[in-house]
């Protein structure tokens, strides 16, 4: 298992746009910290042609790569279908290469504070979420379009139309996002609100931050899951369409992130049902199904070396 210092050299934080409704990205509101994972990308729900991705750093901004993990493309073991007794360690920060498996294993890939994607990883089938009827510049994996379409229709029929606040984010977008918050609120807080580059579910193209269609940003609610039409509907029905809330309330000790009621990971209907029935969080459930050995115990926290 590799541990390495994460060094930033000449890093330039790139912020595409502030979140709608936020007067200052650094404002110390009660919810500013919760916006960490998605804040430096724009919310765009009415402009189908809008591009909302943060530009990748130019050559002059090139930082030292914090990760150089490589894919693990071992065939899917039969044991993947069943849980292993491998216990979930306390929250720690490692750079264990995430297991991607074959084309049909996407639902079982775990990306968390331990398992990481390489900077070169981009989902093979990114499409714009407009294919599911959303007016947004965000991309998602094509494989989730049918369920996302059905879910959006059902939510709209129930009077809770959905918008998308964030979808696929590249390694470098996440790099900017995370460092923005490290410099803004300090590492110790940022690490609970935002993922290190390579460690974001958004890089999988399978995570979506939802919002009320035409509503305010979800992190501006005290609790999106109980105060907004979309959030309430999603909390009750998203799993039926294959989407699981990755970081539910009161589970920070095992998810390693603060509560994010707007952030859902797509795992497909079958896995979502199983996760719901298990009573486990997504991370706990997936942890038991990773063929790549993880740490037996929590690792020391990696520290960024300020330039
Ligand atoms: Zn998110």
Domains, the chain, in order of start with CATH, read: 6-305 (3.30.1380.10)
**CA quadruple 111, 185, 138, 171: dihedral, nearest 10:** -50
Percentage with pLDDT > 70 across the chain: 67
The predicted pLDDT at position 89 comes to: 81
The predicted pLDDT at position 102 comes to: 87
Q: CB of 259 within 8 A of CB of 243? A: no
The predicted pLDDT at position 88 comes to: 83
The predicted pLDDT at position 276 comes to: 93
Distance 101 CA to ligand 1 centre (A): 23
Q: What is the mean pLDDT of residues 231-258?
A: 97
Give the tokens for residue 129. Answer: 């979420």
Tell me: pLDDT of 119 over 50. Answer: yes
The predicted pLDDT at position 84 comes to: 60
Percentage with pLDDT > 90 across the chain: 59
In angstroms, rounded to a whole number, what is the distance separating the alpha carbons of residues 36 and 12? 17
Q: How confident is the model at residue 188 (pLDDT cuts 50, 70, 90)?
A: very high
| Phi-psi domain of 293 (left: phi exceeds 0; alpha: psi -120 through 50; beta: other) | beta
In angstroms, rounded to a whole number, what is the distance separating the alpha carbons of residues 45 and 240? 24
User: Which DSSP category does 187 fall into?
Assistant: H
**Residue where the block lists tokens 């009660």:** 30
Distance 258 CA to ligand 1 centre (A): 11
Tell me: pLDDT of 73 over 80. Answer: no
Lowest-confidence segment of 28-37, 70-79, 89-98, 216-225 by average pLDDT: 70-79
Q: CB of 139 within 8 A of CB of 126? A: yes
The predicted pLDDT at position 163 comes to: 98
Give the tokens for residue 258. Answer: 């603060």
Closest by Cα among 107, 98, 101 to 75: 101
Closest by Cα among 35, 31, 30 to 177: 35
Closest by Cα among 296, 276, 76, 306 to 183: 306
The predicted pLDDT at position 52 comes to: 38
In angstroms, rounded to a whole number, what is the distance separating the alpha carbons of residues 281 and 25? 30
The predicted pLDDT at position 289 comes to: 86
SS3 275: helix
Closest by Cα among 181, 215, 174, 175 to 35: 181
Tell me: pLDDT of 275 over 70. Answer: yes
Give the tokens for residue 29. Answer: 């509101």
Distance 113 CA to ligand 1 centre (A): 14
The pocket of ion ligand 1, defined by CB under 5 A, consists of: 37, 209, 263
In angstroms, rounded to a whole number, what is the distance separating the alpha carbons of residues 45 and 208? 13
pLDDT digits 0-9 by tens, 103-113: 889 999 999 99
SS3 155: helix
pLDDT digits 0-9 by tens, 7-51: 333 333 333 333 333 333 333 333 444 444 444 333 333 333 333
pLDDT digits 0-9 by tens, 276-297: 999 999 999 998 888 766 655 4
H helix intervals, 99-197:
145-157, 171-185, 187-193
Q: Which residue has the higher pLDDT, 113 or 78?
A: 113
Distance 94 CA to ligand 1 centre (A): 20
Q: What is the mean pLDDT of residues 254-280?
A: 95
Closest by Cα among 305, 286, 296 to 81: 286
Strand positions, DSSP E, the chain: 6-7, 96-97, 115-116, 126-128, 139-141, 162-166, 207-212, 243-245, 263-266, 304-305
Distance 224 CA to ligand 1 centre (A): 13
Q: How confident is the model at residue 82 (pLDDT cuts 50, 70, 90)?
A: low
When mean pLDDT is compared over 39-53, 58-72, 216-230, the highest value belongs to 216-230
The predicted pLDDT at position 181 comes to: 92
Strand positions, DSSP E, 8-88: none
Distance 78 CA to ligand 1 centre (A): 31
């Amino acid at each position: 298992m590799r541990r390495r210092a994460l060094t930033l050299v000449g890093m330039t934080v790139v912020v595409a746009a502030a979140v709608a409704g936020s007067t200052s990205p650094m404002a110390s509101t009660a919810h500013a910290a919760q916006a960490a994972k998605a804040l430096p990308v724009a919310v765009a729900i009415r402009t189908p042609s809008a591009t909302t991705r943060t530009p990748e750093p130019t050559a002059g901004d090139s930082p030292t790569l914090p990760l150089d993990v490589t894919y693990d493309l071992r065939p899917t073991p039969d044991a993947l279908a069943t849980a292993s007794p491998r216990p979930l360690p306390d929250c720690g920060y490692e750079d264990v290469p995430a297991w991607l498996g074959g084309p049909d294993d996407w639902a079982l890939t775990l990306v968390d504070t331990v398992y990481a994607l390489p900077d070169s990883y981009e989902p093979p089938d990114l499409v714009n979420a407009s294919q599911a009827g959303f007016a947004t510049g965000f991309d998602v994996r094509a494989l989730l379009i049918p369920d996302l379409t059905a879910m959006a229709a059902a939510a709209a029929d129930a009077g809770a139309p959905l918008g998308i606040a964030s979808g696929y984010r590249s390694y470098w977008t996440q790099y900017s996002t995370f460092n923005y918050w490290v410099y803004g609120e300090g590492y110790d807080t940022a690490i609970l609100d935002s993922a290190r580059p390579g460690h974001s579910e958004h890089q999988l193209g399978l995570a979506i931050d939802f919002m009320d269609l035409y509503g305010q940003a979800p992190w501006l609610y005290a609790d999106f899951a109980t105060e907004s039409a979309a959030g309430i509907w999603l909390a009750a029905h998203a799993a039926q369409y294959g989407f699981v809330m990755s970081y539910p309330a009161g589970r920070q000790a095992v998810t390693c992130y603060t509560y994010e009621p707007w952030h859902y990971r797509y795992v497909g209907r079958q896995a979502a049902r199983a996760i719901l029935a298990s009573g486990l969080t997504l991370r706990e459930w997936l942890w038991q199904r990773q063929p790549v050995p993880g740490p037996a115990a929590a690792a020391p926290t990696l520290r960024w070396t300020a330039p």
